[in-house]
Amino acid sequence: MSHISHLNMGFIFKFLLIAIALSWIFSRLLQFFVKSKLKQFVDHANDLKREDDRRSKPTGANVNVDHIPKEYEQKRSKEIKGGDYIDYEEVKD
């Protein structure tokens, strides 16, 4: 009887070891495929967004303002002069 239980324990140990190894391999493969599909989905969504942005942008919309011209700054500084300081008092309810 002890010989049979010894064989049974060896079988259970091998079975558990193989089951743990297979579940670990399966989880790694599943993780790899999920990441791969998620990356494909994100790339496809980004491509669609770029394509949509390109389509919705008018062809003559190439206006970029990088700086304010010096003439405008000089004209603006002549028009707006420093104001007077007005002292105020807070009113509490």
Cα 80 from chain centroid?
45
pLDDT by residue (tens digit) across 11-48? 889 999 999 999 999 999 999 999 999 999 999 999 99
pLDDT tens figures, 83-92:
666 777 888 8
Rg (CA), the chain: 37
This prediction has a pTM of 0.43
